[in-house]
Amino acid sequence: MNVIQLHSDLWSRLQARRRQLPHSLLLGGARGLGKFDLARAFAASLLCENPQPNGEACGQCLACNWLSQGNHPDFRLLQPEALAEAEGEGEEGGKKASQQITIDQVRGLDDFLHVGTHRAGLRVVLVCPAEAMNRNTANALLKTLEEPAPDTLFLLVSHEPERLLPTIRSRCQALAVPTPDAARARDWLAAAGVADAERWLALAGGAPLLAAELDGSGERRLIEALLEQLLRGPALDPLAAAAALDKTVKAEKGGGAPPMKRLMEWAQKWLVDLSLAATRLPVRYFVGERAQIEKLAARSDAQRLLAFGRKALQYRRHSEHPLNSRLFLEDFFLGYAALFERR
């Protein structure tokens, strides 16, 4: 099952727009839903010379071959250098790859947008993730959107559309990419060879591509190291837990976001599940640990859990650049251990 089958309804809506395309489309939704793959497939279908009955690109014509080789004359992809690299990280020529779409990338579209299209066809610019632009870069793109070139479609993909400039959002027709229903997502993961699909799908908040990524990445090590400590509950040694996780975080190389930020995101989801269990509601993320979560929730109370959950929002905001990672983790685990102290 490909991403088009995963979002068949939305694909039909996209195909219906072929007859009267806007100058720019904004595909927004949670991370891991397949927005980029869907946008890329739509771009391929628009550039294809012999599209299939459902609009998919044929994959065999000259235009499809150009696109697959990355040299179609009427297609441009704007994304951070870090995402463009094969491994998604590292340094090139001694310089760390940028995590942002740069203003030079946007300015580089000038010549592309002011020459004729190949075979009098359509020109497509795919921007992903659109929120990876600073204000100067966004303003440079805005000028292009305000005076669109003919026969040109801008496809913006965003995990957090609310972070885009309101003026950019107003120039785009927005399409929300929904979370697929659980049964379809499980079938998609099973077809992709993901074992224990239900667990990873829950951890990914229902996002199937993120679930597949979690199953096949080093994120598993980060999650398991965190769970080893959190499951101790009242028996937790905060200082020892902080030392262990600090070592894990510093050894972690995978993932686009900083490992400390990802660690705090998982901790926040764990606290959400504890709060749900404390009010006798089913857990949402850590379904494989449901029984242990319910036991831990019974040792605390909803009020304390909600209060620490609010504090966890601050931990998450400060997690990208903690002044001292060891002290940062010690503070978190001291607060977590206090949840289970008897009053």
Tens digits of residue pLDDT in 87-121: 344 444 456 778 899 999 999 999 899 888 887 78
Residue 24: enclosing H or E segment and its boundaries?
strand 24-28
The pLDDT of residue 179 is 94
What letter would DSSP give residue 133? Answer: B
The pLDDT of residue 193 is 87
Sites in the chain below the pLDDT cut of 70: 1, 85-95, 216-217, 253-256, 322, 343
The pLDDT of residue 85 is 66
For residues 326 and 243, give the distance between their C-alpha atoms in angstroms, rounded to a whole number: 7
158 three-class SS = strand
Contact predicate 95/130, CB 8 Å: no
The pLDDT of residue 254 is 55
Contact predicate 134/140, CB 8 Å: no
How far does the chain reach from its first CA to its final CA, in angstroms? Answer: 53
The pLDDT of residue 322 is 67
* Cα dihedral 7, 86, 316, 103 sign: negative
Residue 315 phi, psi (nearest 5): -55, -45
Contact predicate 239/326, CB 8 Å: no
| Beta-strand relationship, 24-28 and 123-127 | unpaired
* Cα dihedral 250, 228, 329, 198 sign: positive
| 265 Cα distance to chain centroid | 13
Instruction: Give 3-state DSSP helix, strand, coil % of the chain, rounded to 5.
Output: 55, 10, 35
- Strand order in 75-78's β-sheet? 75-78, 123-127, 152-158, 24-28, 173-176
The pLDDT of residue 92 is 47
How many residues would you count in the chain? 343
CB neighbour burial string for 257-278, b if at least 16 within 10 angstroms, e if fewer: ebbbbbbbebbbbbbbbbbbbb
For residues 262 and 302, give the distance between their C-alpha atoms in angstroms, rounded to a whole number: 25
Neighbours of 73 (CB within 10 A): 16
Q: What are the CA-CA distances from residue 9 to residues 23, 26, 32, 179 (Å)?
A: 22, 17, 18, 12
What letter would DSSP give residue 49? Answer: S
For residues 159 and 18, give the distance between their C-alpha atoms in angstroms, rounded to a whole number: 24
The pLDDT of residue 15 is 94
